[in-house]
Amino acid sequence: MLVSVPRPQMPIALDPDGVRRLAGAQRQPQPSRLIAVLERSAFIRDAYGKKQQYVPFAERIVEEKHLAQRSTHGLHFDFALTLCDFVNRPLLTLTGTAVNGELDQAILQAIAEFSGTCKISQPSSIDLLVPDYDDLGMAELSMNPVFCLNPSWQFGLDLGVANEANSQALAPLVQDYTANLPVIAYTDGSVPRNRKFRSAGAMVTSQGHWACAISPKHYVQDTLLAETTGALLALTHAPLDSVLTIFSDSRALVKAVNDLVQGRQRTVKVHHELRESLELRTGRTRAHWVRGHDGNRHNEAANRMAILMSRHFSARINPQLTQSMMTKIVLEELSQQALAA
């Protein structure tokens, strides 16, 4: 699918190397490259097949070095690709959709369908400029030899027109799922019987994101504070303006969160970090109780991860091994869940 632009604005010429590229009166005499500007919007589909914007982890979780992972299960991209001539004038915008891992091939296919030629395969034949706001889809783009990704000699271009064209092309594709995306997080905490061991908390979202963290030392042997560790991960992960629902098998945590949100008498035991995190949010926050060990796979995953985190930290197990085992837990527990269509 492409934005309607008269074809004469973008003539295609066959270069000696067998690759069809843009041609024009002001075409550079030296071997030329196609200049393209890419914008993409990540999404998944929920259990009902409805599009949902993909919410990455907040930077704070990564910076604080918690064990965390951003799932790419079911990840898709809507993309808009603006093609430019060789005096850097944006000509037209192609749009499409790609599965994660196939973004590079989808872009080449969109260009090939437009130009009426086979898929471009000449190494470094496309200078591809990509906004560097996240790393989603960058792996396949950087590994595909056809693309010269963000070449330094193109950084001085004024790409405002191209970016505006991309935004307009993506608008109808994303407008139905970008507004106020809800985040559903399941949290749990683990308090070891041995007082020498540290407690831990875990979180897993309905998208498959997960994170674990060791509780501070003064949380030892306090069940509510251990549960708070998992809730804080959920609060850190969710955008401040999103609707956040926290599911927990701790009635004490559910009551504490809802009391704080609704301004009721505040529980003395609740740590100040939970109160401060809730006060920062502008989106609606609520907590619900879910029965533990009752077949809810998200809750089971959070429970197993919290226990594993506590035991491995106390036993000084290599964090890389812990991270690997966390990933297996998520895959095992959520394999029956339709996280994405």
Cβ–Cβ < 8 Å for 325, 214: no
Q: What is d(CA 196, CA 217) in angstroms, rounded to the nearest whole number?
A: 10
Q: What is the pLDDT of residue 172?
A: 80
How many alpha carbons fall within 13 Å on the CB side of residue 135? Answer: 6
pTM over cut 0.75: no
Most confident stretch, 123-132, 185-194, 259-268: 185-194
pLDDT of residue 141: 93
Mean pLDDT of 122-134: 82
Beta strands in the chain (DSSP E): 12-14, 20-22, 34-45, 51-53, 67-69, 76-84, 90-99, 126-129, 147-149, 183-190, 200-205, 210-214, 244-248, 285-289
Report pLDDT for 287: 96
- Can you give the pLDDT at residue 182? 81
Predicted confidence at residue 219, as pLDDT, reads 66
Cα–Cα distance, 156 to 97 (Å, whole number): 29
**Nearest one of 111, 114, 117 to 35, comparing CA atoms:** 111
